[in-house]
Amino acid sequence: MNLAVFLDRDGVITRDPPHFAHRIDQLEIIPNSAEAIRILNENGFKVVVVSNQSGVARGYYLERDIGVFNQAMEKELKNKGAFIDAIYYCPHHPEGKIEKYRIDCDCRKPKPGMFKRAEKDLNLDLKQSFMVGDKLTDVGAGYNAGCKPILVLTGHGKDEFKKVDKMSIKPNYVSKDLYDSIKIITNRGDY
């Protein structure tokens, strides 16, 4: 079985603009994120993006916009020697404006549906895998999937960290950013 590092997209790999990242002109890789992904690749981890994209259900953009954005992100990462093994996203929201996407699904984080799909697709050992996110819903999703959740302080992470004490589910670790979290994930402190 393979080990994975699940990554939220917006706020962990890319900057999270004020109103839903979906256009290429909004694409900005967070400093050192590509380097972190490259190191994870070199250490044999499957790198899997899991992202809530409720902007589709809310009518802000289309699913194809997510694909275009993700392809541009993957190209930019590849140019820096980093590779994403798989990308999963949830376009649903229970209160969405677009009826087709207005559902209470099993893939919207903190539910573990995207993780379970990846587990089957990539032959993953979820209990030995990690989830890195900037929101407590990411932490909850990692926990619900059986992974070790890490909260990063990029994106919404600093604000979310203030709420941790009030939450029943807590991150196993808190790190400055994705690059800093690889010290925990690889069990090495020399990065």
Q: Are 68 and 24 in contact (CB under 8 A)?
A: yes
Instruction: Please indicate, yes or no, if residue 163 is contained in any of the structural domains.
Output: no
Per DSSP, the three-state class of 2 is: strand
The structural domain count of the chain equals 1
Nearest Cα to Cα of residue 169 among 91, 92, 112: 112
Judge whether 50 lies within some domain.
no
What band does 134 get if pLDDT is binned at 50, 70 and 90? very high
Average pLDDT for the chain: 95
Whether 129 is covered by a domain: the verdict is yes
Question: Is there a catalytic annotation at residue 8?
Answer: yes
Cis omega (within 30 of 0) for bond into 110 = yes
Residue 160 lies in a domain: no
DSSP 8-state symbol, 151? E
Q: Which residues does 52 contact at the CB level (< 8 Å), separation at least 6?
A: 89, 90, 108, 109, 137
Domain CATH number, residue 110: 3.40.50.1000
pLDDT digits over 153-186, tens only? Answer: 999 999 999 998 888 889 999 999 999 999 999 9
Tell me whether residue 123 is in a domain. yes
Residue 69 lies in a domain: yes
- Residue 125 belongs to a domain: yes
107 is in which domain, residue-wise?
A: 4-45+60-155+169-185
Query: Is residue 167 within 8 Å of 149, Cβ to Cβ?
Result: no
* 190 falls within a domain: no
Any catalytic annotation for residue 125?
no
Exactly one of 10, 65, 177, 180 is catalytic; name it. 10
